[in-house]
Amino acid sequence: MFLTGGSTRVPHVRAAILGEVPAARVVEGDIFGAVGTGLTIEAARRYG
């Protein structure tokens, strides 16, 4: 399970996500930068 975004650091959110796939191996990305980077890439695709 790849977790990214600041909300994945909230204990209740993390527990809910991982509770659905308890055997998953957890890998974490850039907690605060990945979402912004993704939005920047998408904006560049859409608006040049």
Distances 14 to 1, 29, 30, 34 between C-alpha atoms, Å: 11, 14, 15, 17
Q: Which residues pair with residue 3 across a beta bridge? A: 28
The structural domains of the chain, with segments of one domain joined by +, span: 2-47
Alpha carbons 46 and 31: distance in angstroms, whole number: 24
Which residue in the block uniquely carries the two structure tokens 């399970």? 1
Q: What is the pLDDT of residues 5-46, one digit of tens each?
A: 888 999 999 999 999 999 999 999 888 888 899 999 999 999
**What's the confidence (pLDDT) of residue 43?**
97
Alpha carbons 15 and 19: distance in angstroms, whole number: 6
Q: Is the whole model's pTM more than 0.85, yes or no?
A: no
